[in-house]
């Protein structure tokens, strides 16, 4: 490992340098120190669980973003590598999933690792085994577990029962932290370009990429774990949040209360007005979550509250983007898909890069 120059060492070395050479040495010190700082942040992620977005510091998030950019380059140029050869990921999904489950599996396979998949009906959970016992068993066979569970708080409970890392792939109406990370990567990539998203080297770089942006979340903000995690992430930065939903699907009060700070501002709306559309840099659309309603009648009353059409896009900036964690039902008209502002399929692709970064840093 490169030695870090102390002030005395720098003086001694500088005595033999011309001013130009001293500048070059200073720049080299800075680069060395930045490299060491980065490696210590990466080290801080090794072996850790991710149950909520609050588990991560901004510096750790910047490290994940930077690594995700590198994963995108690697997949584009060579498809992957063998860094995680010999490591095993177990995915435990007790709720349906296409994107999260498959992208975590692809993320592991592209780095040379292997995957075991478990679901509720194929595991001894069907015989009444507790979640804690199930994950304690599975960690005997694998290096990391990715868990989706219908109950809020289940991921933290499972992680507490384990010695190895667990990644929360969605716990009921609670959180979906890896989705928030891929949403963040997508927001910066789409609004600032790949040159910026590939170089998110620090908390400062993250803050500057997000400064002044308006992110409007629309749909089922009560039950949508993706918007819960994304709000908790974005509220750390200088952004304007707009929450648009029917009254019965409002963002939980404690999340709204925390989304107003020194930097972040937020407002709540029950209509997606032309003014809100015109000022939005990101329109983050969510599905009304039928599975969280007590009755079909209650679901039917709000299921089509907001439908994004090409006319809706016509009221938005040319530089704005529409995101959706997917799956979608009716809330985005398929006629929007051809609009360059429809970024939800690119968002889904970014999920694999971000999850590759997470596995790489956690299993390192």
Number of residues that bind ligand CP (CB under 6 A): 9
Residue of 72, 87, 176, 360 marked active site: 176
Q: Order of strands, edge to edge, in the sheet holding 239-244?
A: 265-269, 239-244, 213-218, 282-285, 321-323
100 in contact with ligand CP (CB under 6 A):
yes
CB-nearer residue toward ligand CP: 111 or 186: 186
The answer to whether residue 148 is catalytic is yes
From the list 87, 99, 287, 303, which residue makes contact with ligand CP (rule: CB under 6 A)? 99
- Using CB under 6 A as the binding rule, the residues of this chain from 171 to 230 that contact ligand CP are 179
The answer to whether residue 324 is catalytic is no
Say which residue the tokens 């033999």 belong to.
Answer: 16
Residue of 67, 90, 100, 312 marked active site: 100
Residue of 16, 127, 163, 334 marked active site: 127
Q: Which stretch binds ligand CP (CB under 6 A): 6-14, 24-32, 75-83, 91-99?
A: 91-99
CB-nearer residue toward ligand CP: 97 or 214: 97
The answer to whether residue 225 is catalytic is no
Kindly give, in sequence order, each residue whose CB lies less than 8 Å from that of residue 296, ignoring residues fewer than 6 positions away: none
The answer to whether 237 touches 206, Cβ cutoff 8 Å, is yes
Distance of closest approach, residue 98 Cβ to ligand CP, in angstroms: 4
DSSP per residue, 83-146: TTTT-EEEEEESS--SHHHHHHHHHHHTTT-EEEEEETTTSGGGGT--HHHHHHHHTTT-SEEE
From the list 51, 67, 97, 186, which residue makes contact with ligand CP (rule: CB under 6 A)? 97
Distance of closest approach, residue 169 Cβ to ligand CP, in angstroms: 7
349 in contact with ligand CP (CB under 6 A):
no
Kindly give, in sequence order, each residue whose CB lies less than 8 Å from that of residue 130, ignoring residues fewer than 6 positions away: none
**Cα–Cα dist 29/19, whole Å:** 15
Residue of 87, 110, 148, 266 marked active site: 148
Distance of closest approach, residue 93 Cβ to ligand CP, in angstroms: 8
Number of C-beta neighbours around residue 52 at 10 A: 21
Residues pairing with 115 in the sheet: 89
Residues with a catalytic annotation lie at: 99-100, 127, 148, 176
Give me the residues that bind ligand CP (CB under 6 A), please: 97-100, 170, 179, 325-327
């Amino acid at each position: 490992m490169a030695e870090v120059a102390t002030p005395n060492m720098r003086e001694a070395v500088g005595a033999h340098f011309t001013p130009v050479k001293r500048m070059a040495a200073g720049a080299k010190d800075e680069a060395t120190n930045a490299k060491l700082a980065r490696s210590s942040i990466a080290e801080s992620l090794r072996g850790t669980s991710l149950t909520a977005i609050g588990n991560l510091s901004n510096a750790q998030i910047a490290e994940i973003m930077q690594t995700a950019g590198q994963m995108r380059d690697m997949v584009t140029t060579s498809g992957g590598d063998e860094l995680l050869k010999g490591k095993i990921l177990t995915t435990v999904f007790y709720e349906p999933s296409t994107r999260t489950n498959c992208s975590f599996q692809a993320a592991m396979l592209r780095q040379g690792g292997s995957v075991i998949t478990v679901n509720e009906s194929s595991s001894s959970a069907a015989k009444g085994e507790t979640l804690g016992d199930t994950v304690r068993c599975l960690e005997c066979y694998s290096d990391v577990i990715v868990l989706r569970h219908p109950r809020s708080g289940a991921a933290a409970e499972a992680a507490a029962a384990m010695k190895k890392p667990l990644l929360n792939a969605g716990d009921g109406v609670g959180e979906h932290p890896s989705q928030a990370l891929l949403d963040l990567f997508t927001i910066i990539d789409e609004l600032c370009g790949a040159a910026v998203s590939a170089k998110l080297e620090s908390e400062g770089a993250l803050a500057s990429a997000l400064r002044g942006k308006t992110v409007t979340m629309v749909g089922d903000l009560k039950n949508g774990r993706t918007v819960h995690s994304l709000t908790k992430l974005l509220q750390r930065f200088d952004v304007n949040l707009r929450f648009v939903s029917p009254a019965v699907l409002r963002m939980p009060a404690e999340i709204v209360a925390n989304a107003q700070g020194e930097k972040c501002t937020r407002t709540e709306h029950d209509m997606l007005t032309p003014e809100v559309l015109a000022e939005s840099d990101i329109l983050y659309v969510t599905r009304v979550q039928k599975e969280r309603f007590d009755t079909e009648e209650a679901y039917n009353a709000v299921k089509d509250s907001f439908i994004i059409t090409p006319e809706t896009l016509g009221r938005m900036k040319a530089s704005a983007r529409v995101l959706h964690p997917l799956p979608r039902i009716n809330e985005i008209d398929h006629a929007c898909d051809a609009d360059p502002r429809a970024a939800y399929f690119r968002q889904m692709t970014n999920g694999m890069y971000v999850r590759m970064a997470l596995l790489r840093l956690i299993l390192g």
